């Protein structure tokens, strides 16, 4: 029987796992979380995707209370600057774009309209992009707008702890000194703390971050290195004072050796500069970050190192890795928090009450790997589709060989303007299209269904879509105004 669950490590990953498990399976299992206040957390995952809202609904989280506790703002997408060429800009928005029919998705109708001279920009048909560009936002029951959050990761962990402990999660303060294994099976039996106490369990969740204390240091699970495609391997991060109203989107601004982010919260701005240290030194990265940020820094920049890749197995013996211990792609599309939530959701659905079986572990690992590879391909897309020739970093990205799975997607869109989303894939058709168009792909052909429409009819249909978005937009208040009012409610 599996009843005693021990979570090694707190932070965002540990408290997400604890809060979800106790909410969904609380009466059936005992949950203990071990963390040390002396061990810092990475805490830079300050941007999310819309799946967070679904997860919050499962946990019964009241949105306004969450916003107050985490000083969050709303996020409608990501604005990419300088990725295809210096001076270029495009928006990867949440939500659906235009209106599709069973025979052909919306981009085919848009391309036909553009051929006839009245299509406009693809983003004209995205409510989220238009609201983001205008700095406007509101949500209410029945709202059509799709959104996520910018949040303070440390405050988010504390908020989730405030839900989990009263619901029955036992927190133990202490540093783990040894991981004790069964001599015959290799299964982890207990965590020994520096105090000498032992925390025994049946199932262990490794939330120890890049240290991967259980999954790697103890079980030697192995790591699949993806740095041949995703060569950024360091970041310097700093928080700054706000200098103006918070815009409802993340900015991702490419530079000569990587990119930097700007994430606005209610009380400050999160900034980070991601780079490949083959092409930029740590000192150069710090100096560039401080030169480019707006507002007064609130502390000295912190340096983080990472390697893109994933564990050979997310679940090995009786240890499941979640968060950074399971692998890391990079922060570009804000997927780290999502991956924690999907991992704990997958565990809840497949919880091994009767004992850990090879079939359960194999299925869990296959789904985890597939999810990671899908996200990996989507991130590589941003680097591969560049025309930049101004630095060795971008020339290498442009010329690199890419996974066949991604090459096939690019060829499909380049040849026929076709995109797809598999049943278990996170990124939507609209996301692939927005990034591929934004990064400069011009499809050679497209589905001809739109040619069966009278040109005047097609023009009117596209005009009606734009008018509908304009009407929605006119009802939205400024984002900053809405956040202040809504958070106070």
Helices (H), 350-391: 358-384
Residue 84 has, within 13 A of its CA and on its CB side, a CA count of 16
Tell me the sheet residues that pair with 234. Answer: 275, 305
Instruction: Return the residue matching tokens 């299509």.
Output: 119
Instruction: Return the residue matching tokens 């740095």.
Output: 227
- Single out the residue of 11, 50, 23 nearest to residue 345, CA to CA: 23
**CA 361 – CA 319 distance, rounded (Å):** 10
Residue 98 DSSP one-character state: S
Tell me the sheet residues that pair with 350. Answer: none
Strand pairing category for 223-225 and 309-311: antiparallel
Give kind and range of the element (H or E) at residue 157.
helix 153-167
**CA 473 – CA 462 distance, rounded (Å):** 17
| Residue 75 among the catalytic residues | yes
Q: Which of 23, 75, 317, 341 is catalytic?
A: 75
Q: How far from each other are the two terminal CA atoms of the chain, in whole angstroms?
A: 46
Report the Cα 110 to chain-centroid distance in Å: 29
Report the Cα 179 to chain-centroid distance in Å: 31
Rg (CA), the chain: 23
Instruction: Return the residue matching tokens 């409610």.
Output: 489
**167, two tokens:** 């619901």
SS3 assignment, position 248: coil
Non-local (6+) Cβ contacts of 61 within 8 A are 163
User: In degrees rounded to 5, what are phi and psi of residue 244?
Assistant: -175, -175
Give kind and range of the element (H or E) at residue 58.
helix 51-59
Instruction: Return the residue matching tokens 């120890």.
Output: 208
Active site residues: 75
């Amino acid at each position: 029987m599996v009843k005693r669950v021990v979570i090694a490590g707190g932070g965002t990953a540990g408290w997400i796992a604890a809060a979800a498990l106790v909410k969904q399976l609380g009466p059936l299992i005992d949950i203990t979380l071990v963390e040390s206040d002396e061990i810092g957390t990475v805490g830079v995952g300050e941007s999310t995707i819309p799946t967070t809202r679904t997860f919050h609904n499962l946990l019964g989280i009241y949105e306004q209370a969450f916003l107050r506790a985490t000083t969050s703002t709303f996020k409608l997408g990501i604005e990419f600057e300088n990725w295809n060429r210096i001076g270029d800009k495009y928006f990867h928005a949440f939500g659906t774009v235009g209106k599709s029919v069973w025979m052909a998705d919306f981009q085919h109708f848009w391309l036909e309209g553009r051929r006839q001279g009245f299509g406009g920009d693809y983003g004209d048909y995205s409510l989220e992009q238009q609201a983001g560009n205008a700095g406007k936002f509101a949500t209410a029951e029945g709202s059509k707008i799709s959104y996520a959050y910018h949040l303070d990761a440390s405050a988010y962990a504390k908020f989730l702890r405030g839900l989990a402990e009263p619901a029955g999660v036992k927190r133990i303060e202490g540093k783990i000194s040894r991981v004790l294994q069964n001599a015959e099976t290799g299964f982890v039996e207990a965590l020994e703390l520096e105090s000498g106490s032992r925390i025994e369990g049946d199932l262990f969740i490794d939330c120890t971050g890049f240290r991967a204390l259980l999954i790697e240091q103890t079980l030697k699970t192995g790591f699949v290195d993806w740095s041949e495609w995703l060569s950024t391997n360091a970041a310097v991060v700093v928080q700054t004072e706000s200098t103006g109203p918070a815009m409802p989107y993340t900015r991702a601004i490419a530079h000569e050796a990587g990119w930097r982010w700007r994430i606005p919260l209610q009380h400050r701005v999160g900034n980070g500069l991601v780079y490949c240290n083959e092409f930029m030194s740590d000192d150069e990265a710090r100096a560039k970050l401080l030169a480019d940020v707006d507002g007064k820094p609130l502390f000295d920049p912190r340096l983080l190192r990472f390697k893109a890749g994933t564990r050979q197995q997310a679940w090995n013996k009786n240890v499941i890795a979640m968060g950074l211990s399971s692998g890391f792609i990079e922060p570009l599309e804000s997927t780290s928090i999502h991956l924690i939530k999907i991992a704990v959701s997958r565990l809840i659905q497949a919880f091994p009450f009767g004992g850990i079986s090879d079939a359960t572990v194999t299925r869990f690992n296959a789904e985890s790997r597939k999810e990671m590879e899908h996200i990996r391909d989507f991130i590589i897309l941003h680097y591969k589709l560049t025309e930049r020739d101004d630095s060795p970093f971008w020339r290498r990205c442009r010329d690199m060989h890419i996974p066949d799975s991604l090459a096939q997607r690019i060829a499909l869109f380049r040849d026929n303007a076709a995109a797809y989303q598999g049943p278990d894939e996170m990124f939507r058709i609209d996301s692939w299209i927005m990034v591929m168009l934004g990064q400069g792909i011009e499809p050679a052909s497209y589905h001809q269904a739109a040619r069966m429409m009278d040109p005047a009819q097609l023009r009117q249909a596209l005009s009606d879509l734009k008018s509908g978005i304009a009407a929605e937009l006119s009802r939205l208040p400024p984002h900053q105004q809405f956040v202040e009012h809504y958070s106070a409610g």
